Copies of this chain bind each other. A is one copy, B any other.
Amino acid sequence: MGRIVYEPIGTIHTPFKTPEGVPIQSSGGKDIEGIAELHEEFQQGLSDLDGFSHVYLIYHFHLAEGYSLKVVPFMDSSERGVFATRAPRRPNSIGLSLVRVKAIDGNRLYFVGVDMVDGTPLLDIKPYVPGFEAYGDIRIGWLKRHIHKVKHFKADDRFRA
């Protein structure tokens, strides 16, 4: 299968105009509010989402250019395989954040848990359902020694093109 073409369903608005200073994960931005604004033609697709406390936002890292298969992630000083990180400069620059829904009003979804830059193109929204998710023991590889830092870390410029 060759190229896959998507079109944004809307735009994510956040207080961060540049990548520097953005929390590196949504848990680090849990007090920061953002808005996922859908193009009006998609508004009807938000029905019934107000009953869910959390949703996944799937979006495009529009500032990422190119990619590396090995990256030095935030919170670490060693090179890691890019698929073992959430770094934006990936072969397909897809971002995934689990955020907390505050309210839905028309074509706007208000959320907390901002870890994306203002103007990020939104590709999809999916409900978070714990029963669909992880089971069994959980191990977190190289992140184990660093996970305590996640709430305080902010992005720097290392993933600039």
Contacts and interface: CB of A to CB of B under 8 A. Distances in A.
Copies of this chain present in the complex amount to: 2
B45 A83 contact: yes
Contact of A123 (B42, B92, B128, B140): B92
Contact of A69 (B44, B134, B150): B44
Interface in A45-73: 45-56, 58, 60, 62, 69-70
Interface centre among A2, A84, A147, by most chain B C-beta atoms within 10 angstroms, is A84
B5 A53 contact: no
A73 B121 CA distance: 26
Interface in A113-143: 121, 123-143
A108 interface: no
Interface residues of A, number: 72
Given A83-B125, A127-B143, 19 more contacts: A1-B121, A2-B7, A4-B6, A4-B7, A5-B5, A7-B92, A27-B132, A45-B83, A46-B83, A48-B141, A49-B81, A51-B142, A52-B139, A53-B136, A53-B139, A96-B96, A96-B126, A98-B134, A132-B150
Which 8 pairs of residues, A with B, have the shortest CB-CB distance?
A: A51-B141, A47-B81, A48-B84, A53-B139, A83-B125, A44-B69, A25-B132, A6-B92
Interface of A: 1-9, 11, 25-27, 30, 42, 44-56, 58, 60, 62, 69-70, 80-86, 90-92, 94, 96, 98, 100, 121, 123-144, 147, 150
